[in-house]
Structure 1
Amino acid sequence: MNSPRSLLVALLLVGLSSLSYGQDFHYSQFYNAPLHLNPALTGVFNGDVRFMGNYKSQWVDVPVDYQTVTLAVDKQFRKTSNPKGFFAGGLAFNYDNAGDSKLTWLNLDLNGSYTRALSQTAFVTIGAKAAVIQRSFDEGGLRFDRQFDPVRGEYVESLPSQESFDNTSQIFPDFSAGINLRLQSKQTDYLVFRNNRRSKVDLGVALHHITQPEQAFYDDDDAPLERRLSPYVNATLQVLPIVDVVGNITYQNQGAFYDELVGVLGGRIWLTNKLGRQISLMAGMGLRRDARQDAYWPTFEVTYNTLRVGLNYDFNTSAFDIATENKGGLELSVRYIIRKARPLPEFKVCPLI
């Protein structure tokens, strides 16, 4: 190392790599990654099939950036014989790659839920998730202390690391469960979505990694994947015929590794709200706080009928800003909903918004 600044950056990178071993990946737009937030949000939308995608690229200004991708789909299974409730199912694929070690999280989720209408304005959903997770890393990208030549005062790649890992990849099952309560304005039409009553709030909590699966790369080590608790409130308040106030907040706790509060507040304006041409713009500001202030970000969304695209950029304010110069990362979300025409026998099925 040729300067105290470089040494500090290196130490921070090592610390962050070890931290990522114990915690889940997360999105600033957590409200736009519902299946990752709570399996009880499976099927909680107005429509029949929902497609979602998320992408995050973090700390691109340092040599070892982090990238996360989520692709998900969920579907409602409604029956006219059961107007008070319905089942839903979903699939999600997650990929996360972090640091010099290429520490990778790869998993496939199978989600299931049941929603019960308590009234035309209240719905309760219970959900569960079963997943297969692979955790792996690439030893070739790492540097070890035995490869540092104290005489020359530099790292020598040709020196043997003298490290030996029992495994560089682990595959294990994982399970989560949660509950969600949806409160919303009473809708004026059951057959078409007029989007004229938009106030709603989702309150819920999920517990992830219920069985605390083992993820150690050494056979004799004990490194269970800590349980993650994720209570949240996602709300939209219609204040004018064309204006909504949007607020989302979650608290994420995962053992000693992960304890943070994330919130977003913004406003949405509907440029046009005619059937077949419902267009809106949303702008807001987000804040993430753990032991200290961690990051803030401006966020924007564009909605065209059932297509929604969200974009934000995180500005890092933690101790790591010595390397990032306050630059965090870009995050993108895309959602598309398919709504089928409702036959008349389904007229009395309570709709979600």
Structure 2
Amino acid sequence: MLRISFIFLIIAALLTTNKVLAQDPQFSQYYSAPLYLNPALAGITQQGRAGINYRNQWPSIAANFETFSVYVDNNFDEKNSSVGLLFVNDKEGLVGLQSNEIALQYAYQVNVNYKWVFRPAFQVSYTSRNVNFNKLVFGDQLDSNGNTGNPSAEQFNTDWKVNYFDIGLGGVVYSARAWIGVSMHHIREPNQSFLGESSPLPQKLSIHGGYLIPLNTGYSKGETASGARRNISPTFNYRAQGEFNQLDLGMYFTWDPIIFGLWYRGIPIKSPEGGGSNNESLIFMFGVTQKKFTIGYSFDYTLSNLGIQSGGAHEVSLIYSFKWGDPRKPSRSVRELKCPLPMIF
């Protein structure tokens, strides 16, 4: 009975407490998940692109989180427009909470002048959430030796799911060296309760940016005679959602075909509830670019009280670039100002 009570206590907390469900999944390689970060980044490479992201957070404990996303986007020169399609699946390991989101994005490109470009964008999305009751173990499935594996005779309502539409907005401004973007998701603050109560999903704000510092190669700043990139890119990503906020601060080091990254996640000047430290993790990233493919791996070393015994977080990204249209026509990124964001080409 104690175990049953504990299980249902966890379910009740997950299904009815805004604080637990108020945080969207996150990717440490945020510029390798561009459409998830900001709809204005759809088509920003001025050609076609497809990508996959996978994250496993706290794999050493039962309450781990797995997030998978896949996306495709393309730019249409003649229309100054880009479209993107994004799918995200997120699963919580302990009681099988799962969400599936599909989003359609549109971005419009405005050349402010020969030095700056502005891209406003919006997205519409549909999300379905449910609970997997097969993850639960009840008292009649236990004996003195542990779990019998037999089905439970417990009667309960397994139809716990919620579906909703949502809206997001975004924008990015960039020059040849600098960029800054803002995105706002969950503008409708849809009701996410499984029990018919009021549990609005808080709006999520992200402010992100960076600066490209080209290195001297003896041929041209930031580039070798063969076109290989050589640069450092300090970046940041600040997120706020409900009572939660966080900051990623670090940099990419690009030495084609190799890319390294190092970030700190946390807000050390802010004390969390109950005291202690607000240092969350150090993030180490390694990537390789080969022709049209870029693959990256990162590891989050946990600094919080949860500790490294949680297993940290592992993340893998894969990006493929392609040209859709007249192959004889050079891409817009060759003819016009190119966005300096790393890990997206």
> 2:275 maps to what in 1?
none
Structure 1: 4+ residue segments shifted above 4 A: 11-20, 154-165, 344-349
Is 2:23 the counterpart of 1:23?
A: yes
> 1:343 maps to what in 2?
329
Q: What's the CA shift for 1:285?
A: 1.3
What secondary structure does 1:101 align onto? coil
> In structure 2, how many angstroms separate the alpha carbons of the residues matched to 1:345 and 1:236?
21
Contact (CA 8 Å) 1:237, 1:246: kept in 2 or not? yes
> In structure 1, how many angstroms separate the alpha carbons of the residues matched to 2:58 and 2:11?
11
1:305-324 matches, cutoff 5 A: 305-321=291-307, 324=308
Gaps (5+ residues) in structure 2?
A: 1-8, 218-222, 224-229, 273-277, 340-345
> 1:276 maps to what in 2?
none
The one of 233, 250, 263 equivalent to 1:286 is 263
> In structure 2, how many angstroms separate the alpha carbons of the residues matched to 1:142 and 1:162?
13
1:243-262 matches, cutoff 5 A: 243-256=230-243, 258-262=244-248
Q: What's the CA shift for 1:141?
A: 2.5
What secondary structure does 1:226 align onto? coil
TM-score normalized by the length of structure 1: 0.76
> 2:113 maps to what in 1?
119
Residue 233 of structure 2 aligns with an amino acid whose one-letter code is V
> In structure 1, how many angstroms separate the alpha carbons of the residues matched to 2:13 and 2:195?
19
What secondary structure does 2:312 align onto? strand
> In structure 2, how many angstroms separate the alpha carbons of the residues matched to 1:32 and 1:101?
29
Over 3 Å counting, the alpha-carbon distance change for 1:260 and 1:161 in structure 2 is farther
The one of 128, 133, 137 equivalent to 1:139 is 133
Contact (CA 8 Å) 1:39, 1:127: kept in 2 or not? yes
Q: What's the CA shift for 1:264?
A: 2.6
Contact (CA 8 Å) 1:117, 1:350: kept in 2 or not? no
> In structure 1, how many angstroms separate the alpha carbons of the residues matched to 2:134 and 2:54?
26
TM-score normalized by the length of structure 2: 0.78
1:98-109 matches, cutoff 5 A: 98-109=92-103
> 1:210 maps to what in 2?
187
Contact (CA 8 Å) 2:47, 2:332: kept in 1 or not? no
> In structure 1, how many angstroms separate the alpha carbons of the residues matched to 2:33 and 2:232?
20
Q: Deviations over 1:235-291 (max 9, x none)?
A: 3221223531122211110012x2111123232113xxxxxxxxx212221221154
Q: Choose 301-310 or 26-35, whichever is displaced more.
A: 301-310
> 1:301 maps to what in 2?
287
Q: Which structure features the higher share of strand residues?
A: 1
Over 3 Å counting, the alpha-carbon distance change for 1:158 and 1:89 in structure 2 is closer
> In structure 2, how many angstroms separate the alpha carbons of the residues matched to 1:16 and 1:217?
10
1:176-215 matches, cutoff 5 A: 176-184=168-176, 200-215=177-192
> In structure 2, how many angstroms separate the alpha carbons of the residues matched to 1:345 and 1:74?
15
Contact (CA 8 Å) 1:317, 1:326: kept in 2 or not? no
> 1:222 maps to what in 2?
198
Q: CA RMSD in A?
A: 3.4
1:36-55 matches, cutoff 5 A: 36-45=36-45, 47-55=46-54
